[in-house]
Chains A and B, each alone.
Chain A
Amino acid sequence: MSPQSAVRTRPISVAIVDDEPSVRISLRRLCSAFGLTVTTYASGQEFLDALERDGNRPDCLLLDAHMPGMTGLEIQSHLGARGVRFPTVLFTADDTPEVQARYLSSGVAEYLRKPVHGEELLAAIERAVDRQKRGG
């Protein structure tokens, strides 16, 4: 599977939101190596501000669930409040059924546990994007 598949005319763009610089940078490198277009943000607020300011809408959002200030789920609810919905892949350590249900109901398409393999990440991104497309 490749992001430059026949059906796609441009590479998938992803926005990574993670407070941890090392994780942010390494995920950017990984996604770039897979041919994705990547923008990174250190916090949910930074992402929301950029979204409002520039209007650049990524194809997929990679969110860390565990962040100071605004958590992954809080970003989702902020986006929901603005009527915006992105295919979202959430990194979380908490994968109990209750939490999963909460994630899914808030619009999270995929959730992964760190550390994550590149192929696994790419597959999750593609599934999320495809589901969004199918959905609408």
Chain B
Amino acid sequence: MPSILAAPRGRVSSGAAEPQARTIPLESGLLVFALIALFGNEVGALFRYPAIGSAVLFPPYAVLAAALLICSRRDWPWYILVAAAAHFVTHWPQWGLSWVLLADVANIARALTAALLLGWLFRGPPRLDSIGPLLWFVVVAALVAPAVGATLGAANVVLHGASPTYWRPWGAWFLSNALTGLTLLPALLLTFTSVVEGRREELVPGRVIEAVLLAAALTLTCVVAFALSDTGQFHPALPLYAPLPVLIWSALRFGPGGASVALTAVAFAAIWSADRGYGPFLSWSTDDSVLTLQLFVVLTAIPVLCIAAVGSARRNAINLYRTLLASLHDHVAILDSRGMVLETNDSWRRFAEPGEDAFHGTRAGDNYLERCAAAALRGDLVALRVLAGTTGVLARVDRRFETEYDYDHDGRQDHYLLSVEALERSAGGAVVRRANVTGRHQAQVEIEEQRRELSHLARVAVLGQLSGALAHELNQPLASILANAEAARRLLGREPADLEEVGAILDDIVTEDQRAARVIQRLRALLKRGETRLQSVDAGELLSESLELAHAELITRGVTATAVVEPNLPPLVVDRVQLQQVLLNLILNACEAMSGTPEPGRKLVLSVRAEATSDVRISVRDNGTGIPPALVDRLFEPFVTTKPEGLGLGLSISRTIVAAHGGRLWAENNPGGGATVHCLLVSRTSGIEQ
């Protein structure tokens, strides 16, 4: 037969990644299963008490249910057949044929119920390493499946006249299987799953010694609880608590697998002792004794398995968190509320090599705040900044602190992003994360450089449009200077020379020279590439400067410009050149839009007014063709233009500039024709560069 015993059908609802399932031939699987099933039936027969019509603990239920849960469904008939055969050969011909066959039906129904429900709930072999799945397991394996088995089994007992009542054998069957479901089933299930999935616990000497000690302690406490005769010195219930600490030990240290093995051992010890006339379960009739014993183990097993599940979940969470920490490329340190470094990940540890400064060399056990303070005292401004930020987060004044800085490491300068985030827990603390963001930083610097370059090119393009007008602006003072100088020369050649007039001429020459110099200065400023330089600027002044630059162009285009400036405007903190670029762009666009408007009707109105307490709105209004409705919302997108030869970058760059100043740029069509572009800027008093 090519079939396999293996292949869990799906993924479990909790726990770590699945190891690769091993392929076990069906024949080998069935052989092992048959041996275990036969042994289980023998043990069950040993624990059978005719007085209760059932075994105290019935291993075949655990053996078949565990096998069905880990094998492929197409192999189920084989395993069910072998289980039925093992039961049959153990009990026939001691029991009648119909009894054995009907008992087989009850056993199979119980195991099938458990396997189907648990398989459906867990989509594979159940994992008991968290409280939710464990409780579902208890409901199915110790409540529903035993109830199904008990219903059929008790009917069989009554049918064969072994009990006058139905509920007495029902209760015995139910408790027997509940006990098996809570002790032997988890132990077998976890063992089978480990074998099939090929998981192998590494035999660490410490763990082996601990397991031996635990076994010894369990034996000792079981002897105390179940084997010693009642001396009358203590209440008879008191010794029953003796195994409890050991069971909790097994649960916390060895998980659900260890706990279920320990619980099985306790169950066996209790049954064995009672069978031989020892222990606390002898004071009543056999019926009551067995019932009490079963209830004792069941009620002990549930909390112990819960503790094991919670412990497992905690261990899994810790492992997950450590794996996660280890996998992070960023340097991570976890601080307590006083700034002590509780834990660091590998990246952090690798970085904190000896020789690093106090601030970067912090290790687990150091106080991060003290290390920052030490570095700050030596003049490290980054450490000072981080000290202030971390203190704020640890004091819960801030949720998060973030800073970026350059740091020389391994002979190269890198750029780091350091963030400190408050830990969401009652004890407080914070997570410090340090990431090398050199690549991103360089990309940002390059993008910024490109943006500046593009903005500069757009500015140069605007000046290109204005070149004729600018030449005129420069020619006017030059023409005046030349004419004045020649006039003065002729006046000086006369007798007597009119020195008063010559003095007036020289004054005018100086004034015109300064005027020419101002034009050149503005041109240079606009042509220059440079960093953003924020300064306090009067919006009205900004507008008149831009109008002066565009003056000749407006005349050439026959545009009449009017400026309406509200008095007492709050000062703007902007880059003067960049904002001039925006205004020139808006003025030229407006002129362009009015090229179809007949002269002298081309009217440009520029207005500046205070909006709210800190906002200033500059509006550029024309009476041109207006913005096509389809473009109103897209006008500021790159490469969108209304001009036949326009690139569509001017307004896009203008909006970027205004946005970088914390402002807004938008356009709308005027009700009476033409369009208005509004530029809203926030007036600020901080960040002024002198």
A-to-B contact residues, CB < 8 Å = 20, 22-23, 25-27, 29-30, 32-34, 66-69, 91, 93, 113-118
Contacts and interface: CB of A to CB of B under 8 A. Distances in A.
Contacts of A118: 483, 486-487, 490
B541 to A, nearest CB: 22
A67 B560 CA distance: 11
Given A22-B476, A115-B480, 13 more contacts: A22-B515, A23-B476, A26-B480, A29-B483, A29-B484, A29-B501, A30-B490, A66-B472, A68-B554, A114-B476, A114-B479, A115-B479, A117-B486
A120 to B, nearest CB: 10
A67 B600 CA distance: 13
Contact of A23 (B483, B490, B491, B511): B483
For the residues of B in contact with A, the DSSP-based class is helix
A71 to B, nearest CB: 8
B481 interface: yes
A34 B244 CA distance: 125
Given A22-B508, A66-B555, A66-B556, A33 B487 contact: yes
B483 A93 contact: no
B482 interface: yes
B471 A93 contact: yes
A107 B24 CA distance: 112
A23 B479 contact: yes
Interface string B522-560: 000000000000000000000000000000101110001
A26 B487 contact: yes
Nearest to A94: B468
B617 to A, nearest CB: 27
B478 interface: yes
Nearest to A24: B480
Given A22-B512, A93-B475, A68 B487 contact: no
5 contacts: A26-B482, A29-B505, A114-B475, A114-B478, A118-B487
Contacts of A67: 555
A72 to B, nearest CB: 12
A116 B600 CA distance: 30
Interface in B490-508: 490-491, 501, 505, 508
B555 A116 contact: no
B125 interface: no
Given A93-B471, A118-B487, A22 B477 contact: yes
A134 B486 CA distance: 30
A1 B471 CA distance: 32
Contacts of A68: 554-555, 560
B483 A116 contact: yes
Given A26-B508, A68-B560, A20 B476 contact: yes
A30 B476 contact: no
Contact of B482 (A33, A34, A69, A116): A116
Nearest to B556: A66
Contacts of B552: 66
Interface string B576-606: 0000000000000000000000001000000
Contacts of B472: 66, 93
A16 B624 CA distance: 34
Given A26-B480, A116-B483, A118-B486, A33 B508 contact: no
Given A23-B483, A67-B555, A33 B560 contact: no
A30 B483 contact: yes
Contacts of A26: 479-484, 487, 505, 508, 512
A122 to B, nearest CB: 10
Contact of B511 (A22, A27, A113): A22
B508 A25 contact: yes
Contacts of B600: 69
A33 B486 contact: yes
Contacts of A32: 487
List 4 A-B pairs, minimum CB-CB distance, nearest first. A114-B479, A26-B483, A29-B487, A33-B490
Contacts of B468: 93
Contacts of A25: 480, 508
A66 to B, nearest CB: 6
Nearest to A121: B483
B510 to A, nearest CB: 12
Contacts of B515: 22
